Amino acid sequence: SFLPERSNLAGVRHILLVLSGKGGVGKSTISTQLALSLRHSGKKVGILDVDLCGPSIPRMFRVQDNDVHQCDSGWVPVFVDQDKSISLMSIGFLLEKPDDAVVWRGPKKNALIKQFVADVAWGDLDFLIVDTPPGTSDEHISTVEALRPYKPLGAILVTTPQAVSVGDVRRELTFCKKTGLRVLGIVENMSGFVCPHCSECTNIFSTGGGEELAKHAGVPFLGSVPLDPQLSQSLEEGRDFIQEFPKSSAFPALTHIAQQILDGTLQPSS
Amino acid sequence: AALVLQLSVSVADCPGTSSAQAGRAAACQGCPNQRLCAAGAAAPDPGERGPEARGAGLAWGAGLTQGPEAAELRGRLRSVKHTVRVRSGQGGVGTSTFSALLAHGLAADEAKQVALLDIDICGPSIPKMMGLEGEQVHQSGSGWSPVYVEENLGVMSVGFLLSSPDDAVIWRGPKKNGLIKQFLRDVDWGEIDYLIVDTPPGTSDEHLSIVQYLSAAHIDGAVIITTPQEVSLQDVRKEINFCHKVKVPIIGVVENMSGFICPKCKNESQIFPPTTGGAEKMCQNLNVSLLGKVPLDPQIGKSCDKGQSFLSEAPESPATTSYRNIIQRIQEYCDQHHFQEEKII
């Protein structure tokens, strides 16, 4: 009874998930910057935010006050600007008040995730990026299950350099293995801070853990992204960091990650 | 017309799975449990207990306050003088780091018995931070033995139950709840002055369960951790709302990663800028206490990774001073709000 060709995801060329076992390492940051970088390469991108308890994506594009409307094929995603090259879906748009806590147990979360996967009228997209909450629980199990018929490209795993973060991401790698999700690579975020006053680099959250993990697990290392106050500021204000701050310290690493994803999609899929 | 989910209504107005209105109330529309409730299938048998037995567990408000299991839990938790829950809406803000340091700080008084419970089932960080990686839990006649860091500081975490660092706990809610209940019921803590509960980010299964299970004990309150960023604060406001809804007092908020002082030139940078006024403004607006601000210090992460107490490793750091002041304020709060045993209805 299932016909992926007629579904709302039929026009989506590549689906990729952004995962981490650990919270606060920059999944949503990487998701948004990846979307912005791909857009700058002329791609149409959607972001599906399945973090139901802590939806960050709307605010990162300054569209947190937008509403979701329905059309014949389902829910219309929110476009971040007139260009319509980036569209979003998040529970953040569905809350009456932004401070409302979504206090749901698993089954209700799973029901909404199924709807998010099936009922959003994305139209034609080059990439659909799925931003997830930390962990290996209901949201992740449901998302992977719901996306399986559409054969996602794979997952990007985000970590900070610290052992405490790497420890959780190792478990996420196991999750990917168990659920048959291909790991596109590991991103090491918050990797060093260059003092804007004296250019001294301090490894606030240690160094090297992400690269070591990639080696140990035999997956590609996509790069290290340094701490960049201009990036943090852009996210707070919903600005296009890739467009506005090409000379900022995080820019080269972020665009390099996007380029590797693009290069990867030019290869025939395994 | 715009699509809006009646989320706040669902939580507050769920009639309860065993009520006469189960599945039939307005708030039941769209709930995945609706048909089950309407058919009476979701109501627990008189012999059954626990949120996981109720499926979706929407009736969390009912709590685990009746029956033999509740009495058992109350028995275990009766010997706990103060319970502090450390939480945050947003991940990676330093919740576990703070929990670990709070435990060390309180245990510095050798006369006090401190226990640290890590209920982050998918990402248990506490064993590593306390230098207990690779330790296993032992069963004794009186229950599971916590792993002791010091004579007066015991730790329990799901991390101790995993045999390999690569093991992933890929569980849905009901199974997680079962484990949390076991922790509380079967761990032989002994007499404790302070039980610190480190919670994972979010407002979901684990959080609802821990509130239910701990309602049998004296909950002094919650300490909420945030960074200065709006991205973190927006989740913390939800967290504060959650605490109000489940009637957990808020001891206060800690603003972590609050500024960085370059070790070379000593200039300060705001790596996570407080674009909307930081925790200070949020606390003013929501009328909760700001317990303190802790700056970034590379030694904190290093100590956590090594499993050492940052407070001992870097006693001169401004971050240590901040942490110690905050810990003191929490102690004072607990001393002032010493709970009487409440009658359970």
From first to last of its 345 residues, what are the pLDDT tens digits of chain B? 445 454 333 334 566 655 667 667 766 665 545 554 555 433 333 322 333 333 333 333 334 445 566 677 777 777 888 999 998 878 899 999 999 999 999 999 999 999 999 988 878 889 999 999 988 888 888 888 899 999 999 999 988 887 777 887 788 877 888 877 777 778 888 899 999 999 887 777 777 777 777 776 667 899 999 999 998 998 889 889 888 888 889 999 999 999 998 888 988 999 999 999 999 999 999 999 999 999 999 999 999 999 999 999 999 999 999 999 999 999 999 988 764 434 333
Chain A positions touching B298 (Cβ under 8 A) are 202-206
What does the pLDDT read at residue B67? 59
B199: number of Cβ within 10 Å = 21
Count of domains forming chain A: 1
Residue in chain A nearest B162 by alpha carbon = A171
B296 with B318: CB under 8 angstroms?
A: no
| Residue A270 covered by a domain | no
Contact A105 B200 (CB under 8 A): no
Residue A149 DSSP class: G
A103 to B123: CB separation less than 8 angstroms, yes or no: no
- Residues of B with Cβ-Cβ distance to A218 under 8 angstroms: none
Mean pLDDT on A204-229: 94
* Nearest-by-CA chain B residue for A136: B170
Instruction: Give chain A's mean pLDDT.
Output: 91
Which chain A residue has the Cα nearest residue B200? A23
CA B126 to chain CA centroid, nearest Å:
13
What CATH number does residue A27 fall under?
3.40.50.300
| Contact call for B269 and A23, based on CB within 8 A | no
Residue A89 located in a structural domain: yes
User: Which residue range forms the structural domain that includes residue A224?
Assistant: 12-264
- Cβ contact, residue pair A137, B173, below 8 Å: yes
Q: Is residue A116 part of a domain?
A: yes
ipTM: 0.82
Scanning every residue of chain A, which has its alpha carbon at the shortest distance from the alpha carbon of B244? A101
Give chain B's count of helices (H) and strands (E): 12, 13
Which spans in chain B are helix H? 7-13, 34-38, 67-78, 95-107, 126-129, 173-186, 205-214, 230-245, 278-286, 298-306, 310-313, 318-336
Name the least confident of A71-80, A93-102, B245-254, B328-337: A93-102
pLDDT (0 to 100) of residue B134: 87
List the single residue in A164, A175, A233 with the smallest CB-CB distance to B170: A175
Residues B32, A107: C-beta atoms closer than 8 Å? yes
Chain A contact set for B91 (CB, 8 A): 22-25, 54, 133-134
- Residue A6 inside a domain? The answer is no
Q: What is the CATH number of domain B68-343?
A: 3.40.50.300
Inside any domain, residue A86: yes
Please indicate whether, in this complex, the C-beta atoms of B172 and A206 are within 8 angstroms of each other.
no
Long-range contacts of B44-47 (CB under 8 A, 24+ apart): B44/B17, B44/B18
Which residue from A210, A205, A230 is spatially nearest to A221, judged by alpha carbons? A210
Higher pLDDT, A33 or B28: A33
pTM for the whole thing? Answer: 0.82
Q: How far is CA B315 from CA B252, B299, B319, in A?
A: 24, 11, 9
Pairing of strands A74-76, A68-71: antiparallel
Does B287 contact A at CB distance below 8 Å? no
Structure tokens at B337: 């709000």
Which residue out of B170, B242, B297, B306 would a mutagenesis test of the A interface target, given it has the greatest number of A Cβ atoms within 10 Å? B170
